[in-house]
A and B are shown apart, each in its own frame.
Chain A
Amino acid sequence: MRKFLEGSHAVAEAVKLSRVGVISAYPITPQTHIVERLAEFVADGELNAQFINVESEHSAASVVLGAEATGVRAFTATSSQGLILMSEVLFNIAGLRLPLVLVCANRALSAPINIWNDHQDAIALRDSGWIQFYAENNQEVHDFIYQAYKLAENPEIMLPVMVNMDGYILTHGMEPVDIPSQEKIDEFLPPYTPPYKLDVENPLSMGLLGDPTVYLETRYAIQKTLEDVLKLIPQIGEDFESIFGRKGVALLEKYRIDGAEDVIVAMGSVCGTVKDFIDKKRKEGFPLGLLKIVTYRPFPKEEIFSFLKDKKNVFVLEKAISLGSDGPLYTEIKSLFKNSLPKICGFIAGLGGRDITFNTLEEMLAVGRKEMVSSYFLDVNHTLLRDKFFI
């Protein structure tokens, strides 16, 4: 069934059809409508779940941790400050090998306080052991939920998944979304059968003290599992496509790469703008294409390498910055290439919700073709910097 939905509601619909048993969230600044709509579903009896209103994001993550440890599919959503407050628990969830799914409405971090979109929140959690998907539109974020549970709960994987959607741009943006039937979702995503859980019939201890003789192996095991995840994601995407008739989750998406010499690399909703921009540039005769990173963790190194190695110019466009270094995505892509080819430039744009327009992208191409830059900030208002009134 097709519905005209804002992204937050598209997520809530998918969580409902995923038959989640425990939901917990805290409405920290900034809030989204995801859990509000889920609360309505529970209040109206449309969703049989325990809905736990907690006193902080830290406790929200802890409640769903407890639920997952008891063998029940659980869900939480957050963004920005909330994600950072949760971060201690999120590392813990990955270490405990619990298959939680969380939606992060990507937004900037304080200070200054800013409720608008960028990727600094989720990128800060990139080293936590969580799988990370970045959605371009509301249909993708809806579909990623089902596939995220399918992947996380695979007994060979048992790692949590963060589904990222751009705050405001997707969470509050209305788009038509095709919502599958419950029957088809049940076929794709059967009930969760935990390989281990807190069970009085079969007592086990979880979260033991791991001293130097065992800790290192726990991290090695996660690293190895994430390698398997790279193989499993395309399979899950194909399974999804075979049932629902539209493309499923992937490691990467390529757009207009036929004969493309220059490639923009980006993640999330900005890829929509970039695609339109590429169409325009193609008409003007520029051989430009897009490499969209769908799966940021695990990082699909080989796939990115084999695609980019023959290209001339690579423009990495990202909404995050490792302050004091470069854009995280740029750094990782750059590290794949031992030799000088292709020419890779890094650009920071859109922080704190600054619009990324065709002008932004034109500036990127102009600078990237002329210079060698690694963390070039686009659209900087130099008047503001000179006046320093914001410091």
Chain B
Amino acid sequence: MMENHLFVAGHTACGGCGQAIAARLVVDTLGKNTIVCNATGCLEVFSTKCPQSSWRIPWIHSLFENAAAVASGVEAALKYLGKENINVCAFAGDGGTSDIGLQALSGMLERGHNVLFCCFDNEAYMNTGIQRSGLTPYEASTTTSPAGKIWRGNWRKKKPVVEICASHFIPYSASASVGFPQDLQRKVKKAASIRGPKYIQIHCPCPLGWGFDASLTLEIAKNAVFAGLYPLVEYEYGEVVKVFKIGNNKKPVDEYIKFQRRFRHLLKDEEALEELQKIADKNIEYYKLV
């Protein structure tokens, strides 16, 4: 069955890597008529160790911060060649999207390139040793935001990149989760059907960086959504058009964090846990998730 995939086995991702699952779902959904421009990061490193590659579609890696700009150039070249029916994607991790790649991403969106930018959000710089990024969640312990005697882990909330992209009034900006593959695939299909710049941010649990058993990737991804900490939303031209209702599946945040080493310090700290719950409650209220 492996041969039918466009992102194939043999790569060196960790067991239970959420990003590897998400990348395969995205490219399999888009099909062969797709070109990927990949930022530096885990996905690039584990999938293309010379002379091997897991990609069965044309794929290029240039640098960390320029995936959106390289994709802009690929799209412009295809336009020049009259091949405008090809899907052009930029893939980046959360650091390559929300921090060092944000300028190039904003430029690509503003210029209106027909590019789908996928952010594989595993919530820290995992490739380089679990450093905090702009998409690291509140109170998560990383190697540069460690929980200590004074610090409670990361001191900032996640940067609202889905909203930042939506604020460019692009046709489509959405969040998705590897825990809900059908929802993710629907969003990718929808994005592919729209001309213009699209952004999808995919929550990808990382067993190594978050400190959980590799068998729990999908369950943890689901619980993030059910806890209200990773709302799955869709924006069209700056307006929310759809949210993934969690209804009766709603869970308290400790159900989400209890298997993760990065949040372990919160289980002994009621006040800190309450603050995290407040963020979840606010999401649930704001996006009307229940």
Contacts and interface: CB of A to CB of B under 8 A. Distances in A.
Interface of A: 21-22, 24, 48-50, 52-56, 58-59, 62-72, 74, 88-89, 92, 96, 198-200, 203-211, 214
A199 B65 CA distance: 23
Contacts of A198: 35, 58-60, 74
Contacts of A65: 62, 66, 70, 73
Contacts of A96: 62
B74 A208 contact: no
Given A55-B103, A62-B73, A71-B77, A207 B62 contact: yes
Contact of B69 (A22, A58, A72): A58
B73 A66 contact: yes
B63 interface: yes
Name, among A50, A88, A198, A210, the residue most crowded by chain B CB atoms within 10 Å (CB to CB). A198
B58 to A, nearest CB: 4
B21 to A, nearest CB: 20
A211 B70 contact: no
B158 interface: no
Contacts of B45: 209
B81 A72 contact: yes
19 contacts: A21-B81, A24-B73, A52-B111, A55-B110, A58-B65, A59-B103, A62-B104, A63-B70, A63-B76, A66-B62, A66-B71, A198-B59, A204-B58, A205-B48, A205-B60, A206-B60, A207-B60, A208-B48, A208-B53
B70 A22 contact: no
A58 B66 contact: yes
Contact of B63 (A50, A52, A89): A89
B104 A58 contact: yes
Contacts of B78: 70
A66 B49 CA distance: 21
Given A62-B62, A70-B73, A208-B49, 15 more contacts: A52-B111, A62-B104, A63-B69, A68-B73, A69-B70, A203-B55, A203-B57, A205-B53, A207-B61, A207-B62, A208-B48, A209-B45, A211-B50, A214-B50, A214-B51
A210 B63 CA distance: 14
B286 interface: no
B59 A206 contact: yes
Contact of A49 (B55, B63, B80, B106): B80
The 8 closest A-B pairs by CB, nearest first: A66-B73, A62-B69, A70-B77, A55-B107, A207-B61, A63-B73, A205-B53, A62-B66
B159 interface: no
A59 B61 contact: no
Interface of B: 32-35, 37, 44-45, 48-51, 53, 55-63, 65-66, 68-81, 86, 103-104, 106-107, 110-111
Nearest to B45: A209
Given A62-B104, A208-B49, A209-B45, A52 B72 contact: yes
Contacts of B68: 59
B35 A59 contact: no
A208 B70 contact: no
Contacts of B104: 55-56, 58-59, 62
Contacts, number: 154
A59 B75 CA distance: 14
A55 B104 CA distance: 7
A22 B80 contact: yes
Contact of A200 (B37, B62, B86, B107): B86
Contacts of B103: 55-56, 59
A71 B45 CA distance: 25
A97 to B, nearest CB: 12
Nearest to A200: B33
Contacts of A206: 59-61
Given A66-B37, A199-B58, A50 B50 contact: no
Contacts of A207: 48, 60-62
Name, among A24, A56, A65, A205, the residue most crowded by chain B CB atoms within 10 Å (CB to CB). A205
A69 B74 contact: yes
Given A206-B61, A209-B50, A67 B66 contact: no
Nearest to A22: B76
